[in-house]
Amino acid sequence: MEVVVNGGPVAPPPGDGGGRPSRGSALVREPSPRLADGIVTHVDRVPVDVEVARAQHRAYVAALAGHGWSPLAVADPDPYPDGVFVEDTAVVVDDLVVLTRPGAPERRGEVGATQEAVAALGLQVARIPAPATLDGGDVLQVGRTVYVGRGGRTDAAGVRALRSLVAPLGRTVVPVTLRGVLHLKSAVTALPDGTLLGLPDRVDPGGLPPLRTPPEEAGAHVVPLGGATVLVSASAPRTVAWLDDLGFDVVAVEVGEFEKLEGCVTCLSVLIPGRDVR
């Protein structure tokens, strides 16, 4: 088990030797000075410490880098309080980047900088067309199935638009109705073995396989980093211990300032396997 504290350096995992080949790129975006003005929908607003958030973000990015993911920075963090939640701006399927059209109008300007960043990777690019809306946080890929949260940010037209783009790639889109959460990945994520981890009271279970329920709500959010390694919030210590006991290699990071804005470990990056600008 590995715990990353605010701003702390991350050494390569044991046996890595510092020479592990890159797994790909990790799209990330620094917190805006106006992070505290970010949108909250299902939680009460509480003060956000931007400097602590920046330290947590540095440690988060270092954790990704320490496990083989090369950070790919999205520029210009200042104008968009929610810009750090870069996951909402892009969905990557094989060699296709789908640029989203966020459900919150004030976030749509974030997509342009994401497009500029991914241009260096030589991927195909498509867009969710207006007036459809789709947030990347509503998209969970498990094998060749793409689960899409149907809630406050992603609409039916967005589900249809994504389906039209990924069906030719052999993907099946399954819509999932949400209950009282911002995004699908606020309630459900997937472990490296494909098992779904989640909060059954926050989703319509009809479109999903059985969920494995974590000990804490914050434990429903994991980012598979490759192999049996998962990134989890340090605010879910019982889940960290539970996953460790199940045989997963757990990296716990502090993301408490982002959790105040309904963020989690999935929101802060887009992993792009096999593509590296270095």
Tens of pLDDT along 25-70? Answer: 999 999 999 999 988 887 778 899 999 999 999 999 999 999 999 9
Mean pLDDT of all residues belonging to the chain: 92
Give me the number of domains the chain comprises: 1
Tell me whether residue 72 is in a domain.
yes
Residue range 207-248, pLDDT digits in tens: 899 999 999 999 999 999 999 999 999 999 999 999 999 999
Given strand 2-4, what is the order of strands in its sheet? 2-4, 249-253, 229-233, 222-226
Answer whether 30's CB lies under 8 Å from 71's CB: no
Query: Given 57, 183, 221, 264, which residue is catalytic?
Result: 183
Active-site residue 67, yes or no?
A: no
Amino acid (1-letter code) at residue 38 = G
Tell me what pLDDT residue 3 has.
60
Q: Is the dihedral of CA 85, 156, 115, 230 positive or negative?
A: positive
pTM: 0.92
Tell me whether residue 83 is in a domain.
yes
Name the nearest CA neighbour of 264 among 241, 245, 247, 239.
Answer: 239
Specify the 3-state DSSP secondary structure of 201: helix
Tell me what pLDDT residue 45 has.
80
Report the DSSP pairing between strands 229-233 and 222-226.
antiparallel
CATH no. for residue 136?
Answer: 3.75.10.10
Report the DSSP pairing between strands 172-177 and 188-190.
unpaired
Does pLDDT of 253 surpass 50?
yes
Lowest average pLDDT, out of 6-10, 149-153, 235-239, goes to 6-10
Q: Domain residues for 185?
A: 2-11+21-273
Tell me whether residue 176 is in a domain.
yes
Report the chain's terminal Cα–Cα distance, integer Å: 29
Q: Region 131-138: what's the mean pLDDT?
A: 98
Query: Given 67, 221, 264, 267, which residue is catalytic?
Result: 267
Dist CA 127 CA 97 (whole Å) = 8
Radius of gyration for the chain, computed over Cα atoms and rounded to the nearest angstrom: 17
Specify the 3-state DSSP secondary structure of 139: strand
Tell me whether residue 16 is in a domain.
no
